[in-house]
Homo-oligomer: A and B are copies of this chain.
Amino acid sequence: MSEPISAVNVAPRARPSRLRDVARLAGVSVPTASQALNGHARISAGTKERVAAAARELHYTPHAAARRLSRGRSDCVAIVPGMNMSGFFSDLFYRALLSGVGTALETEGFRMLITPAVRFDEQAPQFVQMARAREIDGMLLAGAVDVHWARRVLEAGTPVVLLDNYYPEAIAPAIVNDNTGGAYAATSHLAALGHRRIGFVGADVEYPFGSDTRAGYRRALRDAGVSADPALEVRCAIDAECARAAAGRLLDRAGPPTAIFAVTDMMALGVINAARDRGLRIPADLSVVGMDDIELASVTNPPLTTVRVHKEDMGREAARRLLDLIHGRDVDPAPVVLPNELVIRGTTGGPHGASLC
């Protein structure tokens, strides 16, 4: 240890072995070694075994860039979380989507890259650059991603599938939950319980989710013969705290709602907190319905009545369609709308403080 300064760099920086090293050791040509390792049929079993042994001995791993350049693909897919979610990893809804995506990709040997939709300066966002740089073979745009940038990705020749969103222009296949239907079911459930002043805590976002949920809510009111009162509708960011504030405004009105439908479970939790802030009991004084059925929903107290969204299915279906596109198979660009179902738990009851709980 007399020369600690250079000890780290003195060791001749060993290079990883290349295919030619493997080929030489196995006594075959480079292309033969390549075919052997990639399991091509026309290589004899004996050769395959010799090459495999050589590769093992040398700890051979193909040079990723070389392979990508040569094959023209990366076996890698990017998933781009849109602007509507702040903490992608902490969001239970997106985490569930992700798990569906991951399992589907895994079975086909694809890797997954998470790329935020952030944008520096005047540049195109990173995910567009990645498409142009051919770093990935396909993209999953999840949530609120501007159609303009989706176009740029497509122009770069990279297949795109939308997840939890769709564009009216139908420029790419899309997988969405039946948000209109879910909102309809949730609201109808409240109306069926006898509620007449049903509040709506919606999402203040630009993409279809915002309008679809409101459409479902309104249609349910109309079908139930309840006159819609615009004053009972509020909208805010998709976030528990914002929903708490928004619901507070609703509850502080002269004629407050006896029930509220919030378009996500996290927002429903915010609504419940707003009610608790005011000493209201759930569901005796206020019924609440959410949407998503995240893991949290069933363990709250009381457990949340909500709309079960098949998140893993959404992720899986989206990934499958993307793989189809990547492999050159045709895919219907019309949005695929996945059904959902109402799950009645403990936060809903009749308007007069009676049932459940």
Contacts and interface: CB of A to CB of B under 8 A. Distances in A.
Interface in A327-346: 328, 330-334
A144 to B, nearest CB: 21
17 contacts: A5-B332, A7-B333, A8-B330, A9-B328, A11-B154, A14-B155, A14-B156, A16-B132, A16-B134, A59-B132, A59-B152, A59-B155, A61-B132, A63-B69, A64-B68, A65-B134, A90-B90
B132 A13 contact: no
Size class of the A contact interface (CB-based, 8 Å): 35 or more
Nearest to A60: B132
Kindly report how many copies of this chain are found in the complex they form together.
2
A133 interface: yes
B134 A172 contact: no
A15 interface: yes
Nearest to A73: B65
A61 B157 contact: no
Interface string A72-101: 001000000000000001100000000000
Given A16-B134, A16-B157, A64-B133, 18 more contacts: A4-B333, A5-B332, A11-B154, A13-B157, A14-B155, A14-B156, A15-B157, A59-B124, A59-B132, A60-B132, A61-B132, A63-B133, A64-B65, A64-B134, A65-B68, A65-B134, A69-B69, A89-B89
A7 B64 contact: no
A155 B130 CA distance: 30
A116 to B, nearest CB: 12
Interface string A159-187: 00000000000111100000000000000
Interface string A51-72: 0000000011111111011000
Contacts of A14: 154-157
B59 A69 contact: no
Nearest to A59: B132
A293 interface: no
Interface string A1-36: 000111111010111100000000000000000000
Interface of A: 4-9, 11, 13-16, 59-66, 68-69, 74, 89-90, 124, 129-135, 152, 154-157, 170-173, 325, 328, 330-334
A173 B8 contact: yes
Contacts of A170: 4, 7
Top 10 A-B pairs ranked by shortest CB distance?
Answer: A61-B132, A65-B68, A64-B133, A65-B69, A65-B65, A8-B333, A16-B156, A64-B135, A16-B132, A89-B89
Nearest to A161: B8
Given A16-B132, A59-B132, A69-B66, A8 B157 contact: no
A272 to B, nearest CB: 24
Contacts of A69: 63, 65-66, 69
Contacts of A60: 132
Given A61-B133, A133-B62, A134-B16, A334 B9 contact: no
Nearest to A171: B8
A331 to B, nearest CB: 6
Contacts of A130: 64
Nearest to A10: B330
Contacts of A8: 171-173, 325, 330-333
